Chains A and B, each alone.
Chain A
Amino acid sequence: MKNFYIAFIIIITGIILIQACSKLEPAALADDQLLDGPVDGLNYEQNGRFLAGDNAFNNEIFTVEKGVGPIFVATSCGSCHAGDGKGHPFTTLTRFGQVDETGNHFLDKGGPQLQNRAIPGYLPETIPAGATFSKFTPPGNTGLGFLELVSDQDILAMADPDDVNGDGISGVPNWNTIPAYINPSVNAVTQNGKYICRFGRKGSIFNLLQQTANAYNQDIGITSVFAITDVYDHQETDPEVSTQTVNNVVFYLQTLKAPIQRNQQDPASINGGTVFTQIGCESCHKQTLKTGYSPVQSLSYKEFHPYTDLLLHDMGSGLDDGYTEGSAKTHEWRTAPLWGLGLSPKSQGGGYFLLHDGRATSIEQAVEMHGGEATEARRNYSSLSPADKDALLKFLKSL
């Protein structure tokens, strides 16, 4: 009988453990601490597509057998965008060969992007003599679907090429040619056969399909039906990634949620938001934009807060690397969205690598390196009291 009781107690203990096991597991991080995850309101089918894209983006590793390279920068999408956040200097891209809007004159010498790594037995690219170049730290992925849906009309409404309002800010869109596989919307605005582009540090990429196809091709050395030319021998090859996979990744990027602001009730952070506007940051880092129509209801006609105007601005000689894309001048950069800024250390290895090439290792440094049209705002920042600077920093870290 004693044995029976012992066995009974063991079985009951086991059942309790099985029932309680999830209590012994780590809790999920709060939504506002994470950059990844889908926008709210996707239906089951959309969730399935999101997961397929998530898997392709974060888990699919390209090996030699799967077509990586032979020259490349990274072996997967996730290598450059840990947790869908900003990248690290380890996967910083180098682009070369274009100095003005006449285009890239080094395409036959491996431009526009340097593939600085190679599979065993091959040699990576080097920058050709005479080519200027710039480095690009991978940006965060979150909220890209919202940015894609801002109408051209809204972007043009924020532009002020001749600084008519006299505020010293004269944003312009990047007008660029687009690949034949892109189907621009009927409302897309054109100028001399060029379209308003918005993605990338220079704002030279039209939409997320172009961005994805380019990244597969130029970053990983993977061809698709959209970018069929091999980066090594410049010959057309069979697609190395399926069109379905590319489309899934595009859908994933489109439906990644927007970063959620933290500490919104913190008085210092609220004060910092006021300072942000007062010293002129908001002139370019527009707090609120809105989307147009999308077949994905969660993205359609929404207001969101990216802190960008998607326009190019003169950032001064300090940030002029002598390289450009599309119609941007070498000293012009697209306003970087600030959403997710406070979570950057969670994807950049615990620190900050800010501005286009990660040269700023703190938010303060990044502000101090602003020039050109942002000179006045930078001066205003420099003259702030320590308390206001601290409040501004808290606000920026809450984004």
Chain B
Amino acid sequence: MTGRGIYIYGFVRAAHRLPADSVGVGAPACVPRILRQGSVAAVVSGAPADLRARRRDLLAHQNLLLGLSDAGPLLPMRFGTVASDEDAVRRELAVREAGLLETLDRLAGMIEANLKAMPSGDGLARLVREDARIRRLRDDARRRPGYEADIRLGEAVARALSQRAAGQARRVLAELTPHAVATCPGADVPGCVMNVSFLVGREGYSSFVSVVNRFADRCGDLVDLRLTGPLPCYSFVAPEAHMARVDG
């Protein structure tokens, strides 16, 4: 069911083509199309009347953007953006044409990679061996078992594992930054000691991945790393992302 309004997935150059069998948000899925205005275009579809952040809609948004970004630069919109009608979209395209083109040029050939670092549960034995305070708490908990002792021990372990992971996360960030065109800190994610997005050239992505994998091989018992990519450049469409550009 299509409601009123136009769902906007992102902006591309006017020459950009939709990938074959593109699928939009909604159930049944809305059919995406390209709305051209001058030298830029918006990828749009009808807006489902009951649009919410359902899993299938988030995936439809994401997958369409992934397909589009394979074919050229793309400025992804935040999920759930709806314009009143086609004219409103065309008006914005016309007003923003120069700025959009500039950002599209800046992101041409680029992808986003997101790295999250979490404490690793694998290094427990090492932590207990190396950390005198935790060894003491563990001995206490063994001598006088009980809920309080367990909580003290467990809390100290959790904090120490987080600190170790955070230290490693700073190291991996320092190693990766020279391989990226720009970096952008992500939102705080509970459970993660670091959440950073990198703007990386498509050509350089496999060596970027190798750096992450080598680091994970070396330090996997101190930190768990999860790298997601290549992604549309969600974190680098704003002007401030441009400011975060790393020189050299």
A, B: real partners = no
